[in-house]
Amino acid sequence: MQDSYRSTAWLRILAVLSLILAGGLDRQAVADPQPQPKEAVQSDQPEQSPAENPRKRALFSRAVKEVRSAMADRDLPGARRKLKTVTANVQNDADQAQAERLQVMQENLEEFWKGIRGAVARLQPTEEIDLHDNRVAVIAASRDELMVQVYGQPQRYRVEAMPVKLLGAIVDRSFSPTGGSKVIVGTFLAVDREASNRAQARKLFQEAAKQGEPMGKQLLPELDVPIPESSPKRR
């Protein structure tokens, strides 16, 4: 029986050798079969964003704070200069959203003071301004200054340095209750160091959003950002 098995094995070996010699089989395939290529495995992990630049992060954070400080001190030219540094150092979507919000606020504040200057320039001598608990009479007015009679005494103010109560009275009589006007006045109340009233700013933003003004919703996050301290140069 064993001799029969050996004979059968030898016959098989001889058959394979015959095929190789005849070119019917690839020697390499018999000796070393090639592995089949593996399918690429897809990963569920999200692609990682490029590493942040620490220097750009520091410049961005510092400039954002300086923009808000300049806005709070009514230094719009200074805020505009610092905004360029902010936009130049954006690194992600959150940075971009904050930079765009600051840009909108800058434009709103410029419109606010443009409206105030125009309203002051239209005041006529002897015209009275109601301060709720007092009335003041206009002596002279221009886009840059306002002179009024307060308790019998003349007082002269630069438009940007008017007392909060006088400024508020001019706002009340000058801005219409549209969604656009509400976000402009709300921006001023949200950031101004002296006149800050964030509860009223929130109310105006929400009302503007209900009136279909997209900036109302866009500016709401700013109300959660503290007003930074004034720059030592401005104190």
Q: What would the pLDDT profile of 52-104 be if each residue is shown by its tens digit?
A: 899 999 999 999 999 999 999 999 999 999 999 999 999 999 999 999 999 99
Which residues lie below 8 Å from residue 201, measured CB to CB, with a gap of 6+?
186, 187, 189, 190, 223
Amino acid code (one letter) for 205:
F
What is the sign of the dihedral through the CA atoms of 219, 181, 110 and 123?
Answer: negative
Are the C-beta atoms of 193 and 229 separated by less than 8 Å?
A: no
pLDDT in tens, 18-37: 554 455 444 444 445 555 55
- At 172, list the tokens: 């009340």
Are the C-beta atoms of 141 and 120 separated by less than 8 Å?
A: yes
Q: Where are the domains of the chain?
A: 54-226
Please provide the distance, in angstroms rounded to a whole number, between the alpha carbons at the two ends of the chain: 112
What is the sign of the dihedral through the CA atoms of 185, 188, 190 and 196?
Answer: negative
Tell me the pLDDT band of 133, cut-offs 50, 70 and 90.
Answer: confident
